[in-house]
Amino acid sequence: MTAPTGRRERKKAATRQKIADTALRLFLARGYDTVGIREVAAEADVAVTTVFAHFASKEALVFEQDQDFEQRLARAVTDRAPHEPLIPALRREVLALVHHCTADGAAPVRQLIEGTPALREYEESMRLRHAESLAVAIAADPELPQSTTACRTIARFAIDAYTLACEAADPQAAVDEIFRMIEAAWEVACPPPHA
C-alpha cells in the first residue's frame, strides 16, 4: 500500500532527507546557534526557500523523526482494548516513547536539544500541542464521562511524565513513580465503580 512512488515523490523525499541530514550533521558538529540556515542550504546544495518548503522552521529540522508522537499518544487511548482502564494504557505508551528517546542512538541529538534553549522551547511547545490532542482523545471516550478540565489535566500530566522521565537519571523508575501519582489523581477525578 505504499503506492507506486513516482520519480517526483522520490526526488522530493530525497531532497527533504538530504536537508535534514545535512542540518543535523552541521548542528552536531558545530552547534545549533552557530550554523545558519543559509549555510545549511548551501551545504545541502539547495535554495534557502527550499529548506522552508520542507520544514516550517529551523527548529523543525532537528525534530524530523518525531512526527508521529502526537498520533501515538492519541491512539494509545482510542485504540486500547475494550474496557481496559485508561491510565495503564497511557503509561505503557509513555514508557515506550521514553525508551525511544533515551535510546543510545538518540543520545547526541538529545544532548544537542538539552543544550540549546531555542530547541528546548520548541520541544515544549510541541508537547503542549500533543497534550491538547491527547485531551481531545480522552474526552471523546464514551466510557469516561467526566469533565473537560479533568481530561485536559490528565493529558498534561501525562506529557509532564514524559518530559520529566526523559530528563531523569532513571527514566523507567521516573515513569513508574509519576504514573502512580497520575493514577491516584485520576481515581479522584473519575471514581471507579468497583469500590
Q: Tell me which residues touch DNA (CB under 7 A).
A: 6-9, 11-12, 15-16, 35-38, 45-50, 52-54, 56-59
Neighbours of 159 (CB within 10 A): 22
Output the CA–CA distances (angstroms, integers) from residue 149 to 64, 134, 142, 178, in the order listed.
32, 13, 16, 20
> What is the x/- site pattern for a copy of itself, positions 170-189, by CB under 8 A?
---xx--xx-xxxxxxxxxx
**Restricting to residues 110-129, which ones interact with a copy of itself according to CB under 8 A?**
121, 124-125, 128
- Least distance (Å) between residue 61 CB and DNA: 8
CB closer to a copy of itself, 12 vs 152? 152
**What is the DSSP code string of 12-73?**
HHHHHHHHHHHHHHHHHHH-STTS-HHHHHHHHTS-HHHHHHH-SSTGGGTTSGGGGHHHHH
| Cβ atoms of residues 29 and 112 within 8 Å | no
Residue 132 within binding range of a copy of itself, rule CB under 8 A: no
**Restricting to residues 134-153, which ones interact with a copy of itself according to CB under 8 A?**
147, 149-150, 152-153
- Least distance (Å) between residue 114 CB and DNA: 19
CB closer to DNA, 39 vs 160? 39
